[in-house]
Structure 1
Amino acid sequence: MPCGKGGMMNFNFKYWGVLACVLGYVGMSLSAKVERATVYIFGFSASFTDSVVYITDIQQLDSAYIETKYDFLMDRAVYSDQLQTYLEAVKQMPNSTCAVFFHTKKSKLMEEYDKIRKQYGSDGSVMLKELTDGSFKFQSPVYEPPVKAVPESAEPKATKKEKRRKASKDKPEK
């Protein structure tokens, strides 16, 4: 039946309208939230030009921010940059590649920590150095949620009276 006859066109609009509403609702319900949480974190650093590998101890951060949908640590790059800056300044280890590992449960993170220590500790070509003396501590950055771009407000449109008044002022006198 063609769309132009009877109620078929009306049915299509209803169908697509309901579908759009359902998709909008599902999209809103799946949106992630960022929450402040306690996490456990450790850092790892390796360099392609050096045989020394550094690993920090497991530290507790009380003011970290987690994206709840995927358990994603916000500002992870800031934490790895903190470790890299420390290694460059204190240990004179430039050009190191740093990564952080985290979890909300210490036992789960401890498994990962032990796995990395075992892997690099048993490798004879790499020297594993642990930063466990408390000299390095991760600092939680102040989390600022992303800001949506808002267009600059346009100047209010002049009314007809204001336009006439301006035009009469600009008119040269005779």
Structure 2
Amino acid sequence: MKLRFFVMLLAGVFFTSHVYASKKNSNQVYMYGVAASFNDSTVYFTDIQQLSSAWIDHEGFLYSRDNYSYQLKDYLAKLGFSHATCITTYSDNRKDIEKKYLKTKKKYTTVKGKGKDKNHYTVKYITSSGFAYKPIVPDEQEIEKANKKANKKKARKQKQGE
């Protein structure tokens, strides 16, 4: 009886995590990038871009998110803006990403201080026709590894709940 229960529990965990994985992995994501340098007062903003095949892991993180920032950094290096620090922000909700975009943009475009103080940043915009993020999809081993990790995590949670 315990064996049957254990097998059913394991099958349920596998099925729900597999459904969760397939539902969560390939998503539509909105993202934008910001690039700045400590050596320069120029700040670059990309447009908000929509990626239809971005990969989100089980914990809600964008797979290989640092490589999206490197895509922007490489693009700017080709333009002669080397040593840029790039940040890529993402969300699966268009309204959320627009709020984040406006908040970040406000930090660099708002004039601070009284009357005569001016903004110290030169803001430049990169259009989607100039630069577009390319989706990064994990290989089969990475997907399998992520699914195993999610299965173990779910099994632990269910075991603690008993």
TM-score of Structure 1 vs Structure 2, range by shorter chain: 0.5 to 0.7
Deviation above 3 Å: which 4+ runs of structure 1?
Answer: 31-34
1:108 aligns with 2:96: yes
Pick aligned residue for 1:125 from 120, 124, 127: 120
Aligned-pair CA distance for 1:133:
5.6
Counterpart code for 2:131: F
Counterpart code for 1:85: D
1:5-45 Cα distance to aligned partner (Å, 9 max, x none): xxxxxxxxxxxxxxxx9xxx8xx78x884611000010111
Q: Which has the higher contact order (CA 8 A, sep 6+)?
A: 2
**TM-score (normalised: structure 2):** 0.67
**Helix, strand or coil for the counterpart of 2:56?**
strand
**Helix, strand or coil for the counterpart of 2:25?**
strand
1:54-79 Cα distance to aligned partner (Å, 9 max, x none): 010000000100013x3100011111
1:56 aligns with 2:56: no
Pick aligned residue for 1:79 from 68, 72, 82: 68
Q: Aligned equivalents of 2:85 and 2:128: distance in 1?
A: 21
Q: Aligned equivalents of 1:79 and 1:63: distance in 2?
A: 13
Pick aligned residue for 1:41 from 31, 34, 39: 31
Q: Aligned equivalents of 2:55 and 2:39: distance in 1?
A: 34
**TM-score (normalised: structure 1):** 0.63
Q: Aligned equivalents of 1:35 and 1:67: distance in 2?
A: 6
Matches within 5 A, 1:88-107: 88-90=77-79, 92-107=80-95
Q: Which has the larger radius of gyration?
A: 1
**Helix, strand or coil for the counterpart of 2:129?**
coil
Aligned-pair CA distance for 1:46:
0.7
Q: Aligned equivalents of 1:87 and 1:95: distance in 2?
A: 9
Aligned-pair CA distance for 1:104:
0.2
Counterpart code for 1:44: V
Q: Aligned equivalents of 1:112 and 1:141: distance in 2?
A: 22
Instruction: Give the number of aligned pairs.
Output: 122
Aligned-pair CA distance for 1:141:
2.1
Aligned CA distance change for structure 1 residues 74 and 133 (closer, same or farther; 3 Å): closer
User: Which ranges of structure 2 fall in alignment gaps of 5 or more residues?
Assistant: 1-5, 112-118, 146-162
Q: Could you tell me the percent identity over the aligned residues?
A: 33
Higher helix share: 2
Counterpart code for 1:78: N
User: Which ranges of structure 1 fall in alignment gaps of 5 or more residues?
Assistant: 1-20, 149-174
**Helix, strand or coil for the counterpart of 1:53?**
strand
CA RMSD, aligned part only?
Answer: 2.4
1:49-103 Cα distance to aligned partner (Å, 9 max, x none): 00000010000000100013x310001111101000000002x011100010000
